[in-house]
Amino acid sequence: MSDVFYAQSLLKEAFPRTRYGKVDAVFYEARKFINKRVNKEITLRRIRTIWEGTARRIDSEEMEALKAALHEEERREQRELRARLASLDEKIAAFDALTARQAVAADRRHSDHVG
């Protein structure tokens, strides 16, 4: 896999379009993130060439910044998934508790009529 293709894949995974809505927003956020981690100024045009896979080369510090961005995105996604799972656990527990209460109440009604 060429560096350009790898960088393109990293960029698209680290800054998913579905999260940001518009490609321009992706480019802006990617530029902001990468500029904090490299010694040179990264332009929106540079981000676009990486996104499109038309960059001629990828510097090692750009590649490291993209890897860091992917790591950050994975951690963000993990936090969201954990929060979603916790929410689902609460909903399931509440439903199970309600079902158990209804079963106990039904048993009581049944035993009241039998005895």
Read off the pTM. Answer: 0.77
Domain residue limits, the chain: 3-89
Is the predicted pLDDT of residue 68 greater than 90, yes or no? yes
The 3-state secondary structure of the chain reads: CCHHHHHHHHHHHHCCHHHHCCHHHHHHHHHHHHHCCCCCCCCHHHHHHHHHCCCCCCCHHHHHHHHHHHHHHHHHHHHHHHHHHHHHHHHHHHHHHHHHHHHHHHHHHHHHHHC
Is the predicted pLDDT of residue 115 greater than 60, yes or no? no
Q: What is the pLDDT of residue 113?
A: 66
Q: What is the pLDDT of residue 106?
A: 75
User: What are 25-40's pLDDT values in tens digits?
Assistant: 999 999 999 999 999 9
User: What are 69-108's pLDDT values in tens digits?
Assistant: 999 999 999 999 999 999 999 999 998 888 878 877 777 7
